[in-house]
Amino acid sequence: MQIADAGFPYLSAILVSCLAGLLLIVAIPEERKALIRRVSAVFSGITLVLSVIVFCAYDKSQGGLQFVEKVMWIPSLGIQYFNAADGFNLPNLLLTGIVFFTGVLTMWELETRVKEYYALYFLLVLGVFGLFMSMDLFFIFVWYDVSLFPMYLLIAVWGHTRKEYGAMKLTLYLLAGSALILPAIVYLFTRSGLNTFDVVALMQPGVFSADVQKFAFPLLYLGFGILAGVWPFHTWSPVGHVAAPTGVSMVHAGVLMKIGAFGILRVGIFLCPLGWQYWAQLMALLAAVGIIYGALVGLRQTDLKYVIGYSSVSHMGVVGLGLSTVSVDGLNGAVFQMFSHGIMTALLFSSVGYIYDRTHTKMIPELGGLSRIMPVASAYFILAALAGMGVPGLANFWGELVVFIAAVKVYPVRGIVAVLALVVTALFMLRVVQKTFYGPENERHAHLPDVSFGLGVPRMILAFVLVLFGLYPALMFDVIQTASIPFMNGLPK
């Protein structure tokens, strides 16, 4: 066995931190809820610190794969424990660390089956981290399934609003995606003739013929695309958002959907670049329809969580549009949008969760005037809503701007139509803000407390990240470009 890149194994340490937290939570008696919460906060905090260290320590001047950890596991099948970080997965590792930690803090008041909730939550995030950092196809598939299993129980047990239906629909859809990914991976493994699942080895030019790539890419695109909420396979997503408890909604929309988009990038585009170019126009069409559809349906929703759910469909369409442009700008914008959308939706769901816990409703007509009742909690939601509208100075602006510039260059009509959909997105976000936080107050809610400093900490962190990367987008773009430029330069001309 060999660990490459001598030094501290930061990536494995992230996984070990999740696993150690999970095992400790399992070992603590159920009735010691306060201790379970503290252990969850400590170990999720450790993963956040490690994620920040990895992001900051990445050598942008060198680029390429860094923090490489490689151990052969089954030589006869070429399966290896192979983790690494590059400009494509670093933003997602940082995103997961932030949403994981803030999701634990957001659920601090949970009183029902606390031990089981946090244990499943840690297992879910363990799978997400593993998928983002793995460079072995076998482990990517395993981590994908590890991240899906806890989702069903987390929604079915702790959710609300048709929680059993939402959990079952989500699980069936994502298993259908898994059923497409597995045969595609096996097909690529057998056709390569290299007897390895190593992504780096398999992405070398000439390993797969153009016909193999054109056949495998749509399987991978649809398999991972279901999880990314690609239209018309998105219907599980808003239902799942609404049914899930607050912390799970944050991970669901903030991180889990990014697994799908990242899978398209890391597996589909990396291994089948000719298939990517061949199917790019269809990808652009599906993405543009998703952007418009999500915005129009969101405009008619009266449930706050449904509004966010359909806005996620629209915003994830922006990610798909960026990937479809087959350009450096498109990749840069798509990866930036994955990160910024994850932070924004986590803040939106965190804010809605607080409002729902106090008012016991998330129906927009039953709210109103909340900015005068709970001004701090309202401010967090409004800030996230402004980010969703693409307001300059907040992180989402940069991802959307770069994607739309790339899209209009490559697909002028679809790009312009998609840009116009932003007006609709701004319209329904403004409608939600106006009806929920301004206008006449609902007297039933007049006595409700505003968010305390302790409960406000996770919202502060998310708000800070939105502003930080909104004011200094180069912090993110400089990292992403270390992967996007070499990758595009290496494509067959």
Give the pLDDT score at 274. Answer: 94
User: In 3-state terms, what secondary structure has residue 443?
Assistant: helix
Task: Answer whether 85's CB lies under 8 Å from 54's CB.
Answer: yes
Give the pLDDT score at 17. Answer: 95
**For 319-361, how does the pLDDT look when each residue is reduced to its tens digit (9 = 90+)?**
999 999 999 999 999 999 999 999 999 998 888 888 888 888 8
Gap between the Cα atoms of 131 and 142, Å rounded? 8
Give the pLDDT score at 99. Answer: 93
Detail the DSSP E strand segments found in 257-356. none
**For 428-457, how does the pLDDT look when each residue is reduced to its tens digit (9 = 90+)?**
788 888 888 887 887 887 788 888 888 889
pTM score of the predicted model: 0.94
Task: Answer whether 271's CB lies under 8 Å from 235's CB.
Answer: no
Give the pLDDT score at 1. Answer: 44
Q: How much of the chain is helix, strand and coil, in % rounded to 5? A: 75, 5, 20
Residue 273: strand pairing partners: none
Nearest to 68 by CA among 80, 55, 84, 49: 84
Which residues lie closer than 8 Å to 15 by C-beta, 6 or more apart? 126, 129, 130, 133
Residue with tokens 């290896």, as numbered in its chain = 80
Give the pLDDT score at 493. Answer: 63
Spans of all domains in the chain:
10-490
In which residue ranges of the chain is pLDDT below 50? 1-4
CB neighbourhood size of 374 (10 A) = 22
How would DSSP label each residue in 346-357? Answer: HHHHHHHHHHHH
H-run or E-run covering 173 = helix 163-192
